[in-house]
Structure 1
Amino acid sequence: MQTAIQILQKYWKHDSFRSPQEEIINSVLNGHDTFALMPTGGGKSICFQIPALMKEGICLVVSPLVALMKDQVQQLQNIDIKSICLTGGIRSDEIITLLDNCEFGNYKFLYLSPERLQSDWILERIKNLPINLIAIDEAHCVSQWGHDFRPAYLKIANLKTHFPKIPFLALTASATKTILEDVIIQLGLEKPVIFQKSFERKNIAYMVFEVEDKFYKIEQILKKNPQQSIIYVRNRKSCLDITNQLQALGLKATYYHGGLSTKDKDKNMQFWMKEEVQVMVATNAFGMGIDKANVKTVIHIQLPENLESYYQEAGRAGRNGEKAFAIILTSPSDYVQAQSQFIAVLPDKKILTNIYIKLCNYFQIAYGEGINEQFSFNLNHFCQKYGFPILKTFNAIQFLDRQGILSLSQEYTEKITMQFLISSKEVIRYISLNPRDEEIIVTILRTYPGIYDMLTAFNLQLIAKKSNHSESEVQAVLLKLKEKEIIAYYFKNNDATLIFNEVREDERTINRVSKYLESQNQLKKEQFNSVLHYINEKKVCKSKLILNYFGEIATTDCGICSYCISKEKRPNDITLITEKIISLLKTQEMSSREIQKLTKNIEEDVIFAIQQLLENETIVIKPNNKYSLT
């Protein structure tokens, strides 16, 4: 049998483990239930993949993140390790075939969502598999105190009765002490060996800057640190806007959000991974499975929703161990915006019930019906039809997704269907009169022989490649054929797919999960308040604040965060600068750039003096981002 290090070298090309990977692997190999709390980037997947490869049988991996499951399965398949993923939208007959492969095909990994374990027949099939390890990824979801609690996770504990001698490995990157203890109870782990790596990242300088011109500050940061960077924004429009502004300044940047096609996501990702561009401007859709060691700077230009998410996103900086920066830029209007983004959009029980009933009506699902039905779903159209606010509706549907009532797939697709409306003879006549279109039309006919008989799903990229034309050229021919009524041509941009996992039962369905909604709303409010505390606390080391949040006691300051730098940096003429600022503000309100220009001091000293005056409440910053005396 190969050793753990030999498998690591063979498949992952690494010569050594990161701490505490090897210890976790040994614990699992010794048959112990194990809990691994490892911050983002710690290499959690290795901890179950290697012991599973060392033992006979198949590893069952339970994860709520479809994108991550697909990514891990693809990576395993790329190195010739047989793996299968059971996601939503797969028909029952396909699932049976996949499970047959697991039972008889010498597969090593079966990935599935916790909701799949709620199907009795799937559970019966799993009981017949030669399971050698059960790994629970994102294990904080088991706890009602976790920021992404899913009741379906509670069913995992039932596996203990079927596989009493098989070790459980729970993994998460973000869990407070309360969550950790709750997960152990809910999963029924027996005397688990706990590995808890410190949340401290000594090489990351956590910075919070209150500025009136965020883009000006971004420009300064990126030009001072020209290495690979990520800028996190809250929405897709900001992705494009910030990218365009950076490009106008001569900075190389691209963007990434959930609405991009897979092709564009991969293309933009490769630009950044290969360092053809410096900056990736992204929503939180970017980051899953991203492991780039030399990211120098991660900038958030809006307040994060919670410190768990912020820690994970900030932790994408400095994985090579060199000094890196995690920066939040704030302005006075951020609190109001964040309140409206995170708190005001939380659905209560009444609106959740209303949205669920209207969804069923929208898709014409009768009471007691609808299980496993799948629909294309346009959120904007749905909200417009019923007068629902978009963000609150999206959060309600997301909640229903987490509870396993619905499955919302946000894999954006462009679907083309077409059919020839004239006979083949007439098509040949058209080609003779339009020889420039011949290659494309002939390619279509050869690729889709049934296209005369029925509406046929059409792959634009495939036809472009086969005919040696660009996609735009193919599309131009299709539009011309449609105008001449030679083809029926339909182009549909679906922004989501919605699957109903249960029969429709209206209030009965919602009543069952409403207690979770109330506790989740309360948790989100508390988490948001923790973010505000992190931002507004100006007398404590930022690294200490993060460690304290996760239950670690830090005895010394980090020495490199924005607080520590401001504490140590005491210009000799600070009193003189503050007097100048007070004198200037007696005449009128001013921005920091105007103050700097008139005082003729360097920017860092002016900002330090302004921060001192703000802390002493001598001056205030107005909504117009200008300073005035109190």
Structure 2
Amino acid sequence: MVEALQILQKYWKHSAFRKPQDEIIQSVLDGNDTFALLPTGGGKSVCYQVPGMISSGITLVISPLIALIKDQVNNLQQKDIKSVALIGGINQNEISDLLDNCQFGNYKFLYLSPERLQQEWIVERLKLLPISLIAIDEAHCVSQWGHDFRPAYLKIKDLKTHFPAIPFIALTASATFRVQQDIIEHLALKNPVVFKKSFARENLGYHVIKTDDKLHKIQQIVSKNKQSSIIYVRNRRSCLEVSQQLNSLGHTSTYFHGGLPLKEKEKNMQLWMENEVQIIVATNAFGMGIDKPDVKTVIHIQLPENLENYYQEAGRAGRDGEKAFGILLVSSGDVETAKKQFIANLPDKKFLKEVYIKLNNYFRIAYGEGFGENFSFNVNHFAQQYKFPIIKTVNAMQFLDRQGIITLSNEFSEKVNLQFILPSKEIIRYISLHPKDEAIITTILRTYSGIFDIGSTINIDLVAKKSNCHSEQVLEAIKNLEKNNCVIATIQNNDASITFNEVREDEHTINRVAKYLEKQNELKTNQLASVIDYANNEATCKSKLLLSYFDEKNINDCGICSYCLSKEKRNPKIVLEEILACLNKQPQTSRELESQLSFTTNEILLGIQLLLENNKIAINNHNQYYLL
């Protein structure tokens, strides 16, 4: 392990391994098939990257998450470790060249999605590579009872016949016992050495707080804990709205979701990472590769879809070992809302088939054609055109993506088609009246000849680069030109791109995956039931509920969750004394009292009621309580 530690120190700048990283690495180096269940933040990638660096050949990494593949390859390349990824949008010749590089160029890591293994010519090329280790990330996807099952993962075990002497390592951050057994069976792991780190987080207090005024409760939490925070919301609109509300109330906040342009994502992320703002409001698109150790609170303001995701998202708090909080805010109507959101919007076979056929029609793909074709895609526009419910449509498309029938990627782009409709002398006059736009307009005119005669598609980033300004300024200048009737401009926002991985076969395609859809729907229904139990159960430690879900036994109460703290019965006399002490300073509302005192809302309201009944306090016209 001396060499492994030296590599860790040289490339990852860590002085020691976390438990049980060193044991996992030793198992891999000993040539064993290995299964590693490490909770979020447990450092899974190091478990195959370090032995990959020690081995003489190349490590094949199979992962379903394109964003994570890009992130890891980028990180390895920054460390001067030769790595490559076979992801969407690469044609066959480019793939062949990349595989040549892997074969002859001393590369250390080759990343690909499981769908690539369904292409026989790629598997044939893989056989020629000096592969020394095969790593399967997000291995729960191999199980039909895993929360992200992908049939393409079932092809991985075929690699065992081609590389019988090469060790496999399967890694996941969340898997029940049933899923663990599935992973071992479906990957055909031979006598695997199994490592399971407890999901317990001794410094992380899980709190479920019942409130119908979530914004006020968020204010209280982030005011009391002024360190870095994440607030998870369900949709993109809520990201912006909640962030704006917090900023208007004097907090520092930004936001993050999959539909933001890359530059805005990076800017907002940087503000939060460098603690320029306290709070980032985000959808579940946020978190990939994020390791910020000083996050104090993670707040969910709606019920999550499953406890696997909730555990991973809440687990982004307290990675520095300091006391931290994972907080779920629940209002009276949340359970019914979640059922409508997650269960009522599950697609059945009939709806899935309809979406698939209309999707092909939308892009004018004929029966028997479409393989490998790629398009920019706006999901909202598609759903509106065919009068599909948007959430159900997204769920159907995500299912098609997981089955490998299509590939969806959230890559925001703005396509602008532009034509000048005034003569050139009028445009020169316009420039003289708007000198700040001169560089942008002249760059467009020089770059796109014939733009007075016919509409041209403008590359916004190219114009921005040539005119030495930001892409936002280019768009603003174009909008001003349009407003002044100088141009005809069509600006189309695309929040995704879509690749068709199979030829169109309608009935045959959907019939093949229908059985997986039924199991998925059953799984999602059961998962939401576990979330509702977690939120409503007031008789069990919250940490114990989570750990039991992941099949951990003999668990003690954590002592720091909302249930454990509520068990410590407070002396009502102390509650009354502290309320009176606060009111002795000045009249205050119940909210103001709540923000100062450590008691629950119910305890404070009960205390106020007792003091009113005993004529110790009264209420004025401003809803403030004062001493009598």
Fold match by TM threshold 0.5: yes
Task: Please list, as runs of the form range in 1=range in 2, the aligned pairs for 1:440-479 lying within 5 A after superposition.
Answer: 440-444=440-444, 458-471=458-471, 473-475=473-475, 477-478=477-478
Deviation at 1:15, TM superposition (A): 0.7
Q: Which residue of the partner structure matches residue 66 of structure 1? A: 66
Which letter does structure 2 place at the counterpart of 1:528?
A: L
Residues 1:293 and 1:434: Cα distance change in structure 2 (over 3 Å): closer
Q: Which residue of the partner structure matches residue 305 of structure 1? A: 305
Checking the alignment, whether the CA contact within 8 Å between 1:574 and 1:609 is kept in structure 2 is: no
Which letter does structure 2 place at the counterpart of 1:500?
A: F
Pair 1:153 & 2:148 matched: no
Task: Please list, as runs of the form range in 1=range in 2, the aligned pairs for 1:387-466 lying within 5 A after superposition.
Answer: 387-418=387-418, 431=428, 434=431, 436=435, 439-444=439-444, 458-466=458-466
Checking the alignment, whether the CA contact within 8 Å between 1:37 and 1:173 is kept in structure 2 is: yes
Q: Which residue of the partner structure matches residue 599 of structure 2? A: 604
Q: Which residue of the partner structure matches residue 375 of structure 1? A: 375
| Distance in 2 between residues matched to 1:221 and 1:476, nearest whole Å | 38
Q: Which residue of the partner structure matches residue 275 of structure 1? A: 275
Residues 1:472 and 1:26: Cα distance change in structure 2 (over 3 Å): closer
Q: Which residue of the partner structure matches residue 565 of structure 2? A: 565
Q: Which residue of the partner structure matches residue 533 of structure 1? A: 533
Q: Deviations over 1:134-156 (max 9, x none)?
A: 00000000011101000000000
Q: Which residue of the partner structure matches residue 344 of structure 1? A: 344
Deviation at 1:569, TM superposition (A): 3.4
| Distance in 1 between residues matched to 2:210 and 2:309, nearest whole Å | 21
Q: Which residue of the partner structure matches residue 610 of structure 2? A: none
Q: Deviations over 1:456-483 (max 9, x none)?
A: 6544344334324454554455456678
What TM-score, normalized by structure 1, do the two folds share? 0.88
Q: Deviations over 1:89-143 (max 9, x none)?
A: 2211221121121112221111111001000111111111111110000000001
| Distance in 2 between residues matched to 1:57 and 1:116, nearest whole Å | 21
Deviation at 1:575, TM superposition (A): 11
Deviation at 1:599, TM superposition (A): 12
Which letter does structure 1 place at the counterpart of 2:62?
A: V
| Distance in 2 between residues matched to 1:546 and 1:41, nearest whole Å | 17
Which letter does structure 2 place at the counterpart of 1:250?
A: G
Checking the alignment, whether the CA contact within 8 Å between 2:371 and 2:503 is kept in structure 1 is: yes
Q: Deviations over 1:193-233 (max 9, x none)?
A: 11100000000000011112111111111111000000100
Q: Which moved more, 1:489-498 or 1:460-469?
A: 460-469
| Distance in 1 between residues matched to 2:29 and 2:124, nearest whole Å | 26
Deviation at 1:369, TM superposition (A): 1.5
Checking the alignment, whether the CA contact within 8 Å between 2:409 and 2:498 is kept in structure 1 is: yes
Pair 1:57 & 2:57 matched: yes
Q: Which residue of the partner structure matches residue 294 of structure 2? A: 294
Partner of 1:3, secondary structure, is: helix
Deviation at 1:408, TM superposition (A): 1.2
Checking the alignment, whether the CA contact within 8 Å between 2:247 and 2:253 is kept in structure 1 is: yes
| Distance in 1 between residues matched to 2:86 and 2:269, nearest whole Å | 26
Which letter does structure 1 place at the counterpart of 2:498?
A: L
Which letter does structure 1 place at the counterpart of 2:602?
A: I
Q: Which residue of the partner structure matches residue 584 of structure 2? A: none
| Distance in 1 between residues matched to 2:453 and 2:591, nearest whole Å | 73
| Distance in 1 between residues matched to 2:592 and 2:61, nearest whole Å | 59
Checking the alignment, whether the CA contact within 8 Å between 2:594 and 2:604 is kept in structure 1 is: no
Q: Which moved more, 1:328-337 or 1:96-105?
A: 96-105
Residues 1:446 and 1:512: Cα distance change in structure 2 (over 3 Å): same
Q: Which residue of the partner structure matches residue 232 of structure 2? A: 232
Checking the alignment, whether the CA contact within 8 Å between 1:544 and 1:554 is kept in structure 2 is: no
Q: Deviations over 1:551-602 (max 9, x none)?
A: 101432111100110001322449999xxxxxxxxxxxxxxx9878999995
Q: Deviations over 1:379-416 (max 9, x none)?
A: 22222222211111110111011001111122111123
Q: Which moved more, 1:447-456 or 1:510-519?
A: 447-456
Q: Which moved more, 1:3-12 or 1:381-390?
A: 381-390
Partner of 2:207, secondary structure, is: strand
Residues 1:526 and 1:433: Cα distance change in structure 2 (over 3 Å): closer
Deviation at 1:163, TM superposition (A): 0.5
Residues 1:497 and 1:227: Cα distance change in structure 2 (over 3 Å): same
Partner of 1:147, secondary structure, is: coil
What TM-score, normalized by structure 2, do the two folds share? 0.88
Residues 1:417 and 1:172: Cα distance change in structure 2 (over 3 Å): same
Residues 1:365 and 1:472: Cα distance change in structure 2 (over 3 Å): closer
| Distance in 1 between residues matched to 2:564 and 2:525, nearest whole Å | 29
Partner of 2:599, secondary structure, is: helix
Checking the alignment, whether the CA contact within 8 Å between 1:133 and 1:166 is kept in structure 2 is: yes
Residues 1:163 and 1:470: Cα distance change in structure 2 (over 3 Å): closer
Checking the alignment, whether the CA contact within 8 Å between 1:596 and 1:603 is kept in structure 2 is: no
Residues 1:175 and 1:363: Cα distance change in structure 2 (over 3 Å): same
Q: Which residue of the partner structure matches residue 139 of structure 1? A: 139
Deviation at 1:432, TM superposition (A): 8.7
Checking the alignment, whether the CA contact within 8 Å between 1:431 and 1:438 is kept in structure 2 is: no
Which letter does structure 2 place at the counterpart of 1:282?
A: A
Residues 1:607 and 1:102: Cα distance change in structure 2 (over 3 Å): same
Partner of 2:132, secondary structure, is: strand
Residues 1:67 and 1:473: Cα distance change in structure 2 (over 3 Å): closer
Checking the alignment, whether the CA contact within 8 Å between 1:548 and 1:554 is kept in structure 2 is: no
Residues 1:474 and 1:314: Cα distance change in structure 2 (over 3 Å): closer
Pair 1:177 & 2:172 matched: no
Q: Deviations over 1:149-189 (max 9, x none)?
A: 00000000000000011110100000011100110000000
Residues 1:576 and 1:416: Cα distance change in structure 2 (over 3 Å): closer
Q: Deviations over 1:319-376 (max 9, x none)?
A: 0111100010101100111011110000111111111112122222222221112222
| Distance in 1 between residues matched to 2:600 and 2:482, nearest whole Å | 66
Q: Which residue of the partner structure matches residue 542 of structure 1? A: 542
Q: Which residue of the partner structure matches residue 192 of structure 2? A: 192
Q: Which residue of the partner structure matches residue 386 of structure 1? A: 386
Which letter does structure 2 place at the counterpart of 1:26?
A: Q
| Distance in 1 between residues matched to 2:231 and 2:133, nearest whole Å | 38
| Distance in 1 between residues matched to 2:133 and 2:384, nearest whole Å | 48
| Distance in 2 between residues matched to 1:406 and 1:254, nearest whole Å | 33
Unaligned runs of 5+ in 2: 578-587, 608-628
Q: Deviations over 1:277-324 (max 9, x none)?
A: 000111101111000001000011100111000000010000011110
Q: Which residue of the partner structure matches residue 624 of structure 2? A: none
Q: Which residue of the partner structure matches residue 217 of structure 1? A: 217
Which letter does structure 2 place at the counterpart of 1:604?
A: F
Checking the alignment, whether the CA contact within 8 Å between 1:547 and 1:554 is kept in structure 2 is: no
Residues 1:64 and 1:596: Cα distance change in structure 2 (over 3 Å): closer
Q: Deviations over 1:505-528 (max 9, x none)?
A: 111111111111001100001010
Q: Which residue of the partner structure matches residue 628 of structure 1? A: none
| Distance in 2 between residues matched to 1:306 and 1:356, nearest whole Å | 26
Q: Which residue of the partner structure matches residue 39 of structure 2? A: 39
Partner of 2:295, secondary structure, is: coil
Checking the alignment, whether the CA contact within 8 Å between 1:302 and 1:334 is kept in structure 2 is: yes
| Distance in 1 between residues matched to 2:315 and 2:237, nearest whole Å | 25
Q: Which moved more, 1:603-612 or 1:225-234?
A: 603-612
Deviation at 1:493, TM superposition (A): 1.2
Q: Which residue of the partner structure matches residue 29 of structure 1? A: 29
Count of aligned pairs between the two proteins? 594
Partner of 1:44, secondary structure, is: coil
Which letter does structure 1 place at the counterpart of 2:281?
A: V
Residues 1:148 and 1:599: Cα distance change in structure 2 (over 3 Å): closer
Q: Which residue of the partner structure matches residue 619 of structure 1? A: none
Residues 1:30 and 1:483: Cα distance change in structure 2 (over 3 Å): same
Residues 1:94 and 1:25: Cα distance change in structure 2 (over 3 Å): same
| Distance in 2 between residues matched to 1:438 and 1:211, nearest whole Å | 54
Residues 1:458 and 1:598: Cα distance change in structure 2 (over 3 Å): closer
Checking the alignment, whether the CA contact within 8 Å between 2:302 and 2:334 is kept in structure 1 is: yes
| Distance in 2 between residues matched to 1:297 and 1:514, nearest whole Å | 40
Deviation at 1:454, TM superposition (A): 8.6
| CA-atom RMSD in angstroms | 2.9
Deviation at 1:39, TM superposition (A): 0.3
Partner of 1:251, secondary structure, is: coil
Checking the alignment, whether the CA contact within 8 Å between 2:590 and 2:604 is kept in structure 1 is: no
Identity percentage of aligned residues: 61
